[in-house]
Amino acid sequence: MSVAYGIHDLSVATGSRVLALDLLAEYSGIDPDKFRLGLGQERLSVLAPDEDIVTMAAAAALPIIERHGSDDIRAVLFATESGIDQSKSAAVFVHELLGLPRTCRVVEFKQACYGGTAALQAALGMVAREPGSRVLVIASDVARYALDSAAEATQGAAAVALLVSADPALVAVEPAAGVWTADIDDFWRPNDSDTALVDGRLSVDTYLAAVVGSWDDYRARGGVDVADIDLFCHHQPYTRMAHKALRALAAHTGTEIDEARVAPSTVYNRQIGNSYTASLFLSLAAVLDGDDDLTGRRVGLYSYGSGATGEFLAVSVQPGYRAHTRAAATLAALAARTPIDIATYRSLHAGATHRSAVDTEIAPASDGPFRFRGITGRARHYERV
Q: Which of 95, 235, 311, 349 is catalytic?
A: 235
Phi-psi region of 42 (alpha: psi -120 to 50; beta: other; left: phi over 0): alpha
b/e burial code for range 158-180 (CB count within 10 A of at least 16 → b): bbbbbbbbbebbbbbbbebbbbb
Evaluated on CA atoms 199, 147, 37, 268, the torsion sign reads positive
List, in order, residues 6 or more apart from 242 with CB less than 8 Å away.
232, 233, 234, 235, 236, 262, 265, 266, 283
User: Does 172-321 match 5-169+324-384 at the fold level?
Assistant: yes
Helix (H) or strand (E) holding 45: strand 43-46
Closest CA to 115 of 134, 137, 143, 144: 137
Q: Which of 42, 81, 108, 311 is catalytic?
A: 81
Beta-carbon count within 10 A of 124 CB: 21
φ and ψ at residue 383, rounded to 5 degrees: -150, 155
φ and ψ at residue 240, rounded to 5 degrees: -65, -20
What is the rounded distance in angstroms from the CA atom of residue 175 to the CA atom of residue 23? 45
Beta-carbon count within 10 A of 320 CB: 10
Q: Which of 8, 42, 51, 113 is catalytic?
A: 113
φ and ψ at residue 295, rounded to 5 degrees: -50, 125
* Active site annotation includes 113: yes
Its pTM surpasses 0.85: yes
* Active site annotation includes 311: no
* Active site annotation includes 256: no
Q: What was the pLDDT predicted at 1?
A: 63
List, in order, residues 6 or more apart from 1 with CB less than 8 Å away.
none
- Is-contact 18 47, C-beta < 8 A? no
List, in order, residues 6 or more apart from 215 with CB less than 8 Å away.
178, 223, 249, 252, 253, 302, 312
Under CATH, domain 5-169+324-384 is a member of which superfamily? Thiolase/Chalcone synthase (3.40.47.10)
Binding site for (3S)-3-hydroxy-3-methylglutaryl-CoA, by residue number, is 31, 145, 244, 274
Binding site, by residue number, is 31, 145, 244, 274
* Fold (topology level) of 172-321: Peroxisomal Thiolase; Chain A, domain 1 (3.40.47)
What is the rounded distance in angstroms from the CA atom of residue 85 to the CA atom of residue 106? 14
Residues β-bridged to residue 188:
197
User: Where do the structural domains in the chain lie, given as residue ranges?
Assistant: 5-169+324-384, 172-321
Task: Go through the chain and tell me how many residues it has.
Answer: 385
Beta strands 360-361; 43-46: pairing state: unpaired
Per-residue confidence in pLDDT tens, the chain, 385 aa: 689 999 999 999 999 999 999 999 999 999 999 999 999 999 999 999 999 999 999 999 999 999 999 999 999 999 999 999 999 999 999 999 999 999 999 999 999 999 999 999 999 999 999 989 999 999 999 999 999 999 999 999 999 999 999 999 999 999 999 999 999 999 999 998 888 888 999 999 999 999 999 999 999 999 999 999 999 999 999 999 999 999 999 999 999 999 999 999 999 999 999 999 999 999 999 999 999 999 999 999 999 999 999 999 999 999 999 999 999 999 999 999 999 999 999 999 998 888 898 999 999 999 999 999 999 999 999 999 9
